[in-house]
Structure 1
């Protein structure tokens, strides 16, 4: 009598959609981080040809003024003025100025605390606007950039993508626009005035400064000399 074949029953694993979704979300997050890091590496050696904000302004205005200036084409006093105006502790932090952040919190958030590094990340890799998604991405990319880029590179890119007037981007275009000069030939006063318009380039004019802008420029002029003397310009000094 032939033996009946016995079918082995295998237990199927229960479907766990939550675990599957979590696994794919982690993979997607790792892919996003890898793409971000690749972008940081790429622009450490290649000059960003444009930015999303430049493109937006170009669409609005029908074009923008922008021309790249290499590090050795920018007057040292312009470099110090930008740091004195926007991030005096630039050489002392790793992308986030915790002292400035605490001061901003104490003042109720009415004071800006973004470092030059954070501004470069926003201008080059992200978009303008206040929302948690952008701030989270900025917090992720900033330490990456500080790890890969030198302080000189951060400052060089900053001065080449910052807006100095409506549709005028970068120190080379700004020096020509306001003073018919090359960035290497900027005087200390001109450099301070350019740095003074950076927080509000659409409402400030370096060529015809208001009394308030003159006062701000004088403060930046003193600040640029102060950070030269006390060593806070050491990480990028020429």
Structure 2
């Protein structure tokens, strides 16, 4: 019986298995980089079809009312309201507001000493958009790390205007209600482009707990918060704090 020809790789002492593992590792690493970048680049021009939060809420029995509208079809008052209430330094930071983070850490330390369980956050609009579009709800370290990575990507590849446009369209404003258009119709029976300053301030006021608060018939907390937001909107407008979004 004729002997099989020797394997040239073995004869040369080449580590076939090691090269195979290295190849798989490189492919996995490449996908880990390319998939997020590709997703971010896609959504720089294409509206998200859905989000993980919408899917989760849907399985829980809340079908999504999600109506995409371009920023030109959303009242500039709502842009001013969310910047005033959520991220006043949006136009001047690169995704992370380190001053706000420092202030939140000090406030949370004071609250801890007083025995208060209230925790103050410092997420920017960029971070919230990254979380809402690409990730799942939660507060774990893995998700926070991914959120930071996606924040860097959208700040790199998207304009500030695009970040706000996507944020306003995927944020939850009531149970199962996503985006400014659905919110305006749900709470005020009108288009998002026709929102008044008062209505925009009320929508921004319910953002921290959209499943708890009512924007059309608000209680004392939302009324008070909306008044403060509306007053801050004047500062946003007068000081050009929304200039990177509004022409």
Q: Which ranges in structure 2 are unaligned for 5 or more consecutive residues?
A: 1-10, 110-118
- Root mean square deviation of aligned Cα: 2.1
Task: Give the Cα separation in 2 of the matches to 1:102 and 1:86.
Answer: 16
SS at match of 2:44: helix
- Distance in 1, Cα, partners of 2:186 & 2:175: 11
1:26–1:112 CA distance, 2 compared to 1 (3 A): farther
**How do 1:1-238 and structure 2 match up within 5 A?**
12=13, 24-25=24-25, 27-108=27-108, 110-238=119-247
User: How far off is 1:44 after superposition?
Assistant: 0.3
Query: How far 1:164 moved relative to its partner?
Result: 0.5
Shift of 1:12: 4.5
Q: Which runs of 5+ in 1 are unaligned?
A: 1-9
Task: Report the Cα distance in structure 2 between the residues aligned to 1:81 and 1:132, rounded to whole angstroms.
Answer: 30
Distance 1:130 1:26, change over 3 A: farther
Give yes or no for contact 2:62–2:175 (8 Å, CA) kept in 1.
no
Consecutive aligned runs of 4 or more in structure 1 exceeding 3 Å deviation: 10-17, 19-27
Alignment partners' CA distance in 2, 1:155 and 1:111: 22
In 2, Cα distance between the equivalents of 1:13 and 1:182?
A: 67
Deviation at 1:27, TM superposition (A): 4.5
Residues 161, 244 of structure 2: 8 Å contact kept:
yes
Provide the residue aligned with 2:115 in structure 1: none
Structure 1 residues 5-49: Cα deviation after superposition (integer angstroms, max 9, x where no partner): xxxxx78478997x9867754542332121100000000000111
Q: Which moved more, 1:166-175 or 1:56-65?
A: 56-65
Choose 1 or 2 for highest CA Rg. Answer: 1
Q: C-alpha deviations, 1:41-61, integer Å up to 9, x for none?
A: 000000111111111112212
Q: TM-score, normalised by structure 2?
A: 0.86
Number of corresponding residues: 229
Instruction: Judge conservation of contact 1:71–1:156 (CA < 8 Å) in 2.
Output: yes
